[in-house]
Amino acid sequence: MNLPRVAIAAVVTWVVYLGVSFVVHTILLVDIYAQHRAVMRPEEQAGAILPVGFVFALVGFFAFAYAYAKGYEGGGGLQEGLRFGVIVGILICCFSVIWEYMVWPMSSALLIAWMLDYIIEFALYGMIVGLIYKPTARRLAV
């Protein structure tokens, strides 16, 4: 495993995530969020804890890149990353997003928007990691 490339992939993907998240959550989903304002944190509270989310997202991208590297099968990075990212997006939807839908009163429109967002975003993040990660040359037994 090439740990320096894992770290580079994690940081680059996290930076892309910051930009994509801004676009998705402050532009694309703003109308849906406005419909849920009564059950969401006020913007001031959310903004105050936003750095915590950024830190944990960075930790998550290190785990994401590491998991990609552990499962790397030697194929084309873009294609392997795409598959890996879609699988992770589906996992997040099945283990997290659907339960948020069960716990708090979100509309089916928000549920669908989040599910599509996670699958598409993580497909993108997988492709980025796949393009950046390059395994170290394996030593051949002599």
pLDDT tens per residue across span 11-46? 999 999 999 999 999 999 999 999 999 999 998 999
H-run or E-run covering 127: helix 108-132
d(CA 19, CA 95): 25
Structure letter (DSSP) for residue 36: T
Q: What is the pLDDT of residue 137?
A: 66
Mean pLDDT of 111-124: 98
d(CA 42, CA 39): 9
Burial classification of residue 90, based on how many CB atoms lie within 10 Å of its CB (0-12 exposed, 13-18 middle, 19 or more buried) = middle
Q: Tell me the two tokens of residue 6.
A: 């894992």
pLDDT tens per residue across span 77-94? 899 999 999 999 999 999
Contacts of 130 (CB under 8 A, 6+ apart): 68, 76, 77, 78, 79, 80, 81, 82, 84
Q: What is the pLDDT of residue 95?
A: 97
Give the 3-state secondary structure percentages of the chain, helix then strand then coil, rounded to 5: 80, 0, 20
Statement: the pTM of the whole predicted model exceeds 0.95: no
pLDDT tens per residue across span 40-81? 999 899 999 999 999 999 999 999 999 999 998 888 889 999
